[in-house]
Amino acid sequence: MRWEKEKIKLRWLQMFQGSAAVVLGLTAVCKLVSVGGEARILGVADPIFYFLTTRQLLLITATIEMIVALYLLKGAHSITKSSLILWLATAFIAYRVGLWLMHYKGCACLGTVSQWLPVSPATVDLLMKVVLAYLTLGSAICLA
Q: What is the pLDDT of residue 45?
A: 94
> Model confidence over 24-77: pLDDT tens digits?
999 999 999 999 888 888 999 999 999 999 999 999 999 999 999 999 999 999
Q: What is the pLDDT of residue 1?
A: 63
pLDDT, mean over the chain: 91
Residue 36 backbone dihedrals phi, psi, to 5 degrees: -80, -5
* Other beta carbons less than 10 A from residue 61's beta carbon: 22
> Model confidence over 66-95: pLDDT tens digits?
999 999 999 999 999 999 999 999 999 999
Q: What is the pLDDT of residue 56?
A: 96
In sequence order, what E strands does the chain have?
none
- 8-12, 66-70, 99-103: range with highest mean pLDDT: 66-70
Question: Measuring CA to CA, which residue among 125, 137, 127 is closest to residue 85?
Answer: 137
Buried b (16+ CB within 10 A) or exposed e, 70-97: ebbeeeeeeeebbebbbebbeebeebbe
Enter the pTM of the model. Answer: 0.90
Question: Would the CA dihedral through 3, 68, 124, 33 be positive or negative?
Answer: negative
Query: Distances from the Cα of 139 to the Cαs of 62, 84, 116, 126, in angstroms?
Result: 20, 9, 30, 20
Q: 108 falls in which pLDDT band (50, 70, 90)?
A: confident
Domain ranges of the chain: 2-143
